[in-house]
Amino acid sequence: MAGRILITGGAGFIGSHLADNLLRRGYRVRALDNLSPQVHGAGARRPRYLDPEVELIEGDVRDPDAVREALRGVDGVFHFAAMVGVGQSMYELAQYTAVNNLGTAVLLEALIERPVERLVVASSMSVYGEGLYKTANGRLVTCADRSLDQLRRGSWEPKNGKRERLVPVATPETKPPALASVYALSKYDQERMCLVAGAAYGIPTVALRFFNTYGPRQALSNPYTGVLAIFAARLLNDKPPLIFEDGEQKRDFVSVHDVAEGCRLAYETASAAGQVFNIGSGTPRTVNEIALKLAEQLGKNIEPEITGKYRVGDIRHCFADSARAKQVLGYRPRVDLEGGILELAGWLEGQIAKDRIAEMRRALERRGLTV
């Protein structure tokens, strides 16, 4: 079903890999991207990694004229344009809401005027808040929030009302959202707006909840991006990765190549319309483990620094149950963590990263967003 595809945010990390995937399969690709300085650096130009066959329109998803221009002659849309980062969203509320919520609304109004064959929107695992848990007797717990008093004591693991420790299990799409940050709220709004408008106007729409995506082309100087990129920026500057809490929190790290393939499958699978899918690896890994593996691959004998602090909006454990994506889309992650980190380390050779972690910590501490 090759045709012309628009990727909003298409010059970014995931968008550019999706463009590569689509081009290999005969699609023509157009990207709309504002080349944000936080992601691409000051005075950014077209990224060198962006395939020359990608038609790049530099513009903002909040600009109706730019969006209408980008939609001209397009058969389908992947909506990836968004500001990312839990911590920053808690003090740049207006900016996150403008880009993520208003930007999505502007795109949808343009699609009402000019419908496409398919819309795929990038959501996030952050909409779950805490992942799914179970008690010692096997009862599932969908609401496992941690109190501020508990976190101040350094008691990191969620417990139920009986003070029993809970065991994290894979989180399916059926878990109710628990929106712990402005970023999470905006991503949930993005997916719901797209699904509601898609159903109303006959545009088959799919929402994909990405888990912790990593790989080449991540924005190394953005302190609010994925944790592996943040760790890489520290290690490239011979500094220890900084880890909140005790580092034993579990996440689901999925290769950007698998994410790009999941996106294409969602676009091409007719029965996916109207549904939400997790796109992850399904394998939980601790943050400590990730930091040590990356340091080893980079040849850096640097132990992570455990801060013992909590960052507002963070959760303890969440990893994907991707059974629905496997059944409906035929999605199966191919890149294991060891191979993925090896590829990332190879790409990092020769990269220059500005370490802005201290700046990020000061911004959060000044506003009382770390405990």
Active site residues: 183
User: What 8-state DSSP symbol labels residue 102?
Assistant: I
CB 113 within 8 A of CB 107: no
Amino acid letter, residue 186: S
* H-type alpha helices, 269-322: 287-297
Cβ(316)–Cβ(130) below 8 Å: yes
Task: Give the SS3 label for residue 324.
Answer: helix
CB 251 within 8 A of CB 227: yes
Q: What angle do CA 355, 361, 367 make, to 5 degrees?
A: 145
1 with 27: CB under 8 angstroms? no
Q: Please compute Rg for the chain using Cα positions.
A: 20
Which residues, 6 or more positions from 161, have their beta carbon under 8 angstroms from its beta carbon? none
8-state DSSP, 99: I
Q: Which two tokens stand for residue 278?
A: 């997790």
Query: Helix or strand or coil: residue 335?
Result: coil
Query: Among all chains, which residue has been given the structure tokens 């500005």?
Result: 354
Helices (H), the chain: 13-24, 37-40, 64-71, 86-89, 93-96, 103-113, 148-152, 182-201, 227-236, 256-268, 287-297, 323-329, 337-348, 357-366
- The 3-class SS string of 128-179 reads HCCCEEECCCCCEECCCCCCHHHHHCCCCCCECCCCCECEEECECCCCCCCC
Q: What is the DSSP letter of 210?
A: E
Q: d(Cα 260, Cα 368) in Å, to the nearest integer?
A: 37
